[in-house]
Copies of this chain bind each other. A is one copy, B any other.
Amino acid sequence: VAEPSAPDGDIVYGRRPVAEAKRGRRRVRRVWTNDDLAASELNRLAGSPDHQGVVAEVDPFPYADAASLLRADDAIVVAVDQVQDTRNLGAICRSAEAAGAAGLVIPSRRSAAITPAACKASAGAVEHLPVARVTNLAGWLGEAKKGGAWVYGAEAGAPAPHTQADLTGRVVLVLGGEEKGLRRRVAESCDLLVSIPVRGRVASLNVSAAAAVLLFEALRQRRGA
């Protein structure tokens, strides 16, 4: 069994991520299973022991063009400012795909990218969800507003609860990194900052939980439920 060939190939691992890659946008170049290779070799190829006996070499992740994501007049786009944890990024992709979002926008620097671990955490959803990288997230949010989108930033403690914001139509939901939240310029580029009302003593939501709550509140409003 040959090693991965082309230096520009990506690795995808895990039963579901590999299955979704096969029915997704990028070519699957080859697949190794535990019939072909020992677990230690699969671990090394995957860079993780979480491969469930399946590792694939695929074409590089096809990042989308950010401008294309807001074409539909009811598009929901999630923008994530400097999330560091690839598992969080993958979890956000999974929820966004499940919510039928038009895509995800991430900064090209100081952010997790669509790594093999992100693919795994997304359960393969990244094979179907358009993900775009932009060099200047605040600038892109400004463009989105000019293009007719409403841009909502999630910020703990913001006076407006997320359920009072109108999340129908063309919207961008902006989430901050795990520790620091939204950078100032990104927050200033939003039409409105909203918070998810919390109780409790720790009373903080993980960024992927916050993304899921906002996405499905948007869907609820769109159903009029």
- Could you list which residues of chain A lie within 8 angstroms of chain B, going by C-beta atoms? 20, 23, 87, 91, 94-95, 97-100, 122-125, 127-129, 161, 163-164, 196-206, 208-210, 212-213, 216-217, 219-220, 223, 225
Residue contact A205 to B94, C-beta cutoff 8 Å: yes
Beta-carbon nearest neighbor of A94 in chain B: B206
Enumerate chain B residues within 8 angstroms of A212, measured Cβ to Cβ: 205, 209-210, 212-213
Residue contact B219 to A97, C-beta cutoff 8 Å: no
Beta-carbon nearest neighbor of A24 in chain B: B201
Q: Give chain B nearest CB distance to A177 CB in angstroms.
A: 14
Residue contact A220 to B163, C-beta cutoff 8 Å: yes
Residue contact A202 to B98, C-beta cutoff 8 Å: yes
Residue contact A20 to B202, C-beta cutoff 8 Å: yes
C-alpha gap A52/B47 in the complex (Å): 22
- Knowing A216-B213, A225-B161 are in contact, say whether A201-B123 is a contact too (CB < 8 A): no
Residue contact A201 to B97, C-beta cutoff 8 Å: yes
**Could you list some 25 contacts between A and B, CB below 8 A?**
A20-B202, A87-B87, A91-B206, A94-B202, A94-B206, A95-B206, A97-B200, A97-B203, A98-B204, A98-B205, A98-B209, A99-B199, A100-B198, A100-B200, A122-B202, A123-B204, A128-B202, A161-B223, A164-B225, A196-B216, A197-B219, A206-B208, A209-B212, A210-B212, A213-B213
Q: Give chain B nearest CB distance to A211 CB in angstroms.
A: 8
Residue contact A202 to B124, C-beta cutoff 8 Å: yes
Shortest Cβ-Cβ A-B pairs, 5 listed: A100-B199, A209-B212, A163-B225, A97-B200, A125-B202
